[in-house]
Amino acid sequence: MNPRTIAILLGAATGLAAHETGKAHPVSVTGLVVDTGCYLSHDSKGDKHRECAEACARAGVALAILDPATGALYLPVAVDHKNPNERLMPFIEKKVKVTGTVMQKGGLRGIALKTVEAAP
């Protein structure tokens, strides 16, 4: 292999590693799955809002995990290039415990989901 080919392959490997990890750290978060449209625009959340949130999510509105202890909102990041809403749909407006890798950029807090389960 010539030096140019090696440099291109190393650059590609570095880019893939950065895409996977970036400035990320593993966490566990327990919170409420909310639809970002209604939550951000008029603070709608909870059991009474479930039907609306389900309709919003089916229409493509992003779901997120609201940490009630800190008020932080974690937006699932599609690092696997799949719709992250699919994993959260069964838990809309319910409490979940998720594990994953948190990334922050430009004021946005994202989480690459590893596990999702119902929380007590």
| Tally of helices (H runs) and strands (E runs) in the chain | 4, 5
How confident is the chain (120 residues) per 10-residue block, as mean pLDDT?
38 40 76 96 93 94 95 93 93 97 93 95
Q: For position 51, which CATH number holds?
A: 2.40.50
Largest Cα separation within the chain, whole Å, is 64
CA distances from 60 to 35, 81, 117 (A): 10, 15, 22
- In a domain, residue 49? The reply is yes
- In a domain, residue 18? The reply is no
- In a domain, residue 59? The reply is yes
- In a domain, residue 17? The reply is no
Domain that holds residue 67: 23-118
**pTM of the full predicted structure?**
0.78
Query: Cα(63)–Cα(26) distance, rounded to whole angstroms?
Result: 20
- In a domain, residue 9? The reply is no
**Structural domains counted in the chain:** 1
Residues 40, 71, 45, 31: what is their CA dihedral angle, to the nearest 10 degrees?
A: 130
